[in-house]
Structure 1
Amino acid sequence: MIELRELTKRYGDKTAVDRLTFSVRPGIVTGFLGPNGAGKSTTMRMMLGLDKPTSGDVRIDGRRYDQLRDPLNYIGALLEAKAVHGGRTAYNHLLCMAQSNNVPKKRIDAVLDLVGLREVARKRPKGFSLGMGQRLGIAAALLGDPKILMFDEPVNGLDPEGIHWIRNLMKHLASEGRTVFVSSHLMSEMALTAEHLVVIGRGKLLADTSMADFIAENSRTFVRVRTPEPERMRDVLASVGVMPVFEQDGAMQVEGMEPAQIGEMAAWYRVVLHELSPQKASLEEAFMQLTAGSVEYHAHEQGPTPDGRSGQAGRRRR
């Protein structure tokens, strides 16, 4: 388990992480989300002792990272896949890590096989593609067979097969009772992988909840109803105190009722239905809704300004 208590990091007058308190539990994949500049990378670096907190504390199974003997046997992390010695072979890179953490030598071949790099084990990583470098970073994280794993943008550079593989790997690791903490900007992938979410914005905790509850609490859900008798269906719904909202194409949006309830009422009053479909927001839509006020960097579409000049993209929000 990873436990953060009032974790804070300041750089001068800039507060990058502001009194974060949450726990990452074993047995599930926990997603770590936030806009650019939210403090995710700084938080993960403090978890691993790479940055010193201004105040607060992080515990890895009850101890600080610097108190762990042979830390790779407790926690494995992928923060920057290219952070390797380019002159060493992939095998020797892992060998140095294994020797410094009392990891059995046979474990190197096991993780190289697992990530699909056995054939290039004697090649230097400086010639690796982004995806191959990512696989080597994942191999390093798994080297000590740790109970806790942290991944920052693990699918960067991976092809579709690789993305499918790492997604299933993280789920499998969690199913073994391990703690899996993953940060990513790919909402569609996070929605398929994580069961629990921790969301931060401008260094502050915004949400610490299950995936299902996060989407339900930060988005609007409704049932889309289409019928050749919209007025009759409106009156049927109004009889139980529900007022639908009509779309431009004549379909209705109904809130506060389940599809089965609407269908049963329509059948009772003999109203023909052509469509009865629940509409739920995506993780991306819910995330955008929650973090709208916490985005520090906004991109702007190129286009003419009122004075006829082209607009500037990527300006910082002031």
Structure 2
Amino acid sequence: MIELDRLTKRYGTTVAVDQLTCTVQPGVVTGFLGPNGAGKSTTMRMMLGLDRPTAGDVRIDGEHYDRLRDPLNHIGALLEAKAVHPGRTAYNHLTVLAQSNGIPQKRVPEVLDLVGLGSVAKKRPKGFSLGMGQRLGIASALLGDPKILMFDEPVNGLDPEGIHWIRNLMKYLASEGKTVFVSSHLMSEMALTAEHLIVIGRGRLLADTSMREFIKENSRSYVRLRTPEPERMRDVLATAGLTPVATEDGALEVDSVESDRLGELAAEHGLVLHELSPQQASLEEAFMQLTAEAVQYHAHGTGKGA
């Protein structure tokens, strides 16, 4: 478990993290989201003792990170995959980490095989692709078989097979009762992986809720229908107190009603339906809606002619 209590970090007059209070629970994959400049990286660095808080507190299973004996046995993290000595082999890199944290040597080949690097264990990371570097970083995080795992952009550089693998790995680790905390800008991937979300903007907590509730509370849900008699359908809906919105392709969108009810209304009035489909916004749409006022860096224009 990771506990943040009014965690704050200032750089001069700039507030990077602003009294952030939340708990990352074991047993679920928790996604950590926020626009660029929201304070995610600073928060994760403070969790690992790499940055010192200006105020507030952060604890790893009830202890400050710098008081953990053999920290890799408690928390494993991937923040920067290329943070390895380029001339040291993958095997030796993990061996040094194992020896400094009291981890049995046999664990080194185990995690190399687990992340798919067994065949290149004796090669130097300076020749690794971005995806291979990510796998080595994940191996480092898994080395001590910790109860807490933290990943920053874990799918960066991975091919489709690798993305599928890390997604299933994180879910499996959570199912074992481990705390899994993952930050990513890839909303489509986060939607497939995370069960709970912590969202920040400009250093402040914006949401701490389940994936399902987050999308429900921060997006529009509606039913889309198509009929060869749209005007009659409009009249039927108006009589029922519903206001449809016409789309460019001739369909109607209706808020605040179940699709079953719309189907029953059409049947009662002898209306043929060619489409009746509930529409739920994506995680990306919900995220954009919630963080619209918290975006620090805005792009302008389409880039045409650049």
User: Which TM-score bucket, shorter chain as reference?
Assistant: over 0.9
**Following the alignment from structure 2 to structure 1, what is the Cα–Cα distance between the partners of residues 168 and 88?**
30
Counterpart residue number, 2:230:
230
Equivalent residue runs for 1:116-135 within 5 Å: 116-135=116-135
- SS of match in other structure, 1:241: coil
5+ residue gaps, structure 1: 305-309, 312-318
Tell me the CA shift for residue 265 of structure 1. Answer: 1.9
Q: Which residue of 2 aligns with 1:315?
A: none
Q: Which residue of 2 aligns with 1:84?
A: 84
Q: How does 1:220-299 map to 2 (within 5 A)?
A: 220-299=220-299
User: What residue ranges of structure 2 are gaps of 5+ in the alignment?
Assistant: none
**Normalized against structure 1, the TM-score is what?**
0.93
| 1:252 to 1:157, Cα distance in 2 relative to 1, 3 A | same
Q: Deviations over 1:117-158 (max 9, x none)?
A: 011111111111111110000000000000100000001111
Equivalence for 1:185: 185
1:282-304: CA deviation from partner (whole Å, max 9, x where unpaired):
11111111111111112233669
Provide, for residues 80-99 of structure 1, a one-character-per-residue CA deviation record: whole Å limited to 9, x for no partner: 00001112110110001001
CA distance in 2, matches of 1:32, 1:300: 26
Deviation at 1:261?
Answer: 1.4
Q: Do structure 1's residue 3 and structure 2's residue 9 form an aligned pair?
A: no
Secondary structure of the equivalent of 2:273? coil
2:224 aligns to what SS in structure 1? strand
User: What's the secondary structure of 2:293's corresponding residue?
Assistant: coil
Q: CA separation in 2, counterparts of 1:250 and 1:189?
A: 32
* Percent identical residues: 77
Moved over 4 A (4+): none
Letter of the aligned partner of 2:184 in structure 1?
A: S
Q: Could you state the TM-score of these two structures normalised by the residue count of structure 2?
A: 0.97
Letter in 2 for 1:108: V
Q: Distance in 2 between matches of 1:132 and 1:232?
A: 60
**1: CA distance between counterparts of 2:63 and 2:240?**
57
Aligned to 1:111: 111
SS of the equivalent of 1:156 reads coil
1:72 matches 2:89: no
- Distance of 2:49 and 2:107 partners within structure 1: 25
Verify: 1:22 aligned to 2:22, yes or no. Answer: yes
- Counterpart in the other structure of 2:171: 171
